[in-house]
Homo-oligomer: A and B are copies of this chain.
Amino acid sequence: MTIAFIGLGNMGAPMAHNLLKAGQSIVVFDLNKAAVDELVKAGATAATSPRDAAGKADQAVITMLPAGAHVKAVYEGDDGVLAGVAPGVPLVDSSTIDLLTARHVIETAGAQGNPMADAPVSGGTGGAQAGTLTFMVGADGNLFETLRPILQHMGKNIVHCGGAGTGQIAKMCNNMLLAIQMAGVSEAMALGVKLGMDPKVLAGIINTSSGRCWSSDTYNPWPGVMENVPAARGYTGGFGTALMLKDLGLATEAAKQAGQPVMMGGAAHQLYQWFAANGHSGEDFSAIVKLYSQQD
């Protein structure tokens, strides 16, 4: 039984490695020859195109790509997955992409007899390497049960979000909320400190009160409040501002398509856009606190 894995970037490469470690036979493709060679050294077989890789897979095809345009090209191109894959082989796209493209590709795949799931992840490159990613899976129940054991080689939390497309929806809703909270925690901490409170005391009160949230009790953006978070190491590592900005763009775009207002999400989007445009796109997303604290 062979799995095709397409897209060997920062996330995809360690994910494919984890499949190998679990004893899976895999065939890989990426435009980056070095990334392919690395996997081949570890036991994978190289393919010459997405179509070639998919044609050699009888268990599943997994893709991990930067954006919707890549997903569309890798699946629907002349040398794409759909042109090569055998009927019935399940497909999984773990990219975080726009909902319209996700739904379109899933529909096209289904129409030619390939059940397809969207399964974006959270956990970052650290989680990809450790095999502790969370997969948010949009798939009908049977397909989910088929895919679960495969995804468990790469992640520790395999969440069934509902039918096709719901993986993307769950991730974008969670991350939009996360951005709102991180900006909110930043404002509350900065306001309290400006008014004279000790930041650790304030965080402690929030964390046992109704303002409690992951951005405050697990990932506090204020330097000196917690150890082992990006704020404790100059906002390096973690979940980059550029990625958060991308997810906010996906969420507000989906909201636009659905005619759904997102006032707070829209405000957070513009704040992150401002922050990224002013030289902070490479920092962890909790660095947004600088917007409130770096003043004269």
**Interface of A toward B, CB cutoff 8 Å:** 99, 122, 134, 136, 157, 159-163, 165-166, 169-170, 172-178, 180-181, 183-185, 187-192, 194-198, 201-202, 205-206, 208-216, 218-219, 249, 251-256, 258-271, 273-274, 276-279, 291-292, 294-296
Contact with A134, one of B173, B209, B252, B260 (Cβ below 8 angstroms):
B209
Q: Which residue among A157, A165, A184 has the maximum number of chain B CB atoms within 10 Å of its CB? A: A184
Report the minimum CB–CB distance from A195 to chain B (whole Å): 5
The 26 sampled A-B contact pairs (Cβ below 8 Å) are A99-B195, A122-B209, A157-B208, A161-B197, A162-B197, A162-B198, A162-B201, A163-B196, A169-B196, A174-B211, A176-B187, A184-B265, A187-B262, A191-B260, A194-B258, A194-B259, A211-B214, A259-B273, A259-B276, A261-B273, A261-B291, A262-B270, A266-B267, A274-B291, A278-B295, A279-B295
Report the minimum CB–CB distance from A45 to chain B (whole Å): 35
Q: Which residue among A206, A219, A256, A264 has the maximum number of chain B CB atoms within 10 Å of its CB? A: A264
Q: Do the beta carbons of B251 and A191 come within 8 Å of each other? A: yes
Residues of B with C-beta under 8 A to A216: 177
Q: Do the beta carbons of A206 and B266 come within 8 Å of each other? A: no
In the bound complex, CA of A48 to CA of B259 (Å): 35
Question: Taking the full assembly, how many copies of this chain does it contain?
Answer: 4
What is the chain B residue whose CB lies nearest that of A186?
Answer: B264
In the bound complex, CA of A274 to CA of B278 (Å): 15
Given A134-B209, A205-B136: A263 in contact with B259 (beta carbons within 8 A): no
In the bound complex, CA of A160 to CA of B162 (Å): 45
Residues of B with C-beta under 8 A to A187: 176-177, 180, 261-265
Residues of B with C-beta under 8 A to A170: 192, 197, 201-202, 205
Residues of B with C-beta under 8 A to A271: 261, 263-264
What is the chain B residue whose CB lies nearest that of A272?
Answer: B261
Report the minimum CB–CB distance from A247 to chain B (whole Å): 11
Residues of B with C-beta under 8 A to A214: 209-213
Given A210-B214, A214-B212: A260 in contact with B278 (beta carbons within 8 A): no
Report the minimum CB–CB distance from A202 to chain B (whole Å): 6
A180-B181, A253-B253 given. 9 additional CB < 8 A pairs? Answer: A161-B197, A162-B201, A166-B201, A174-B206, A180-B187, A184-B184, A191-B262, A194-B259, A195-B260
What is the chain B residue whose CB lies nearest that of A259?
Answer: B277
Report the minimum CB–CB distance from A114 to chain B (whole Å): 22
Report the minimum CB–CB distance from A180 to chain B (whole Å): 4
Residues of B with C-beta under 8 A to A190: 260
Q: Do the beta carbons of A188 and B201 come within 8 Å of each other? A: no
Q: Do the beta carbons of A263 and B267 come within 8 Å of each other? A: yes
Q: Do the beta carbons of B258 and A191 come within 8 Å of each other? A: yes
Q: Do the beta carbons of B178 and A210 come within 8 Å of each other? A: yes
What is the chain B residue whose CB lies nearest that of A257?
Answer: B195
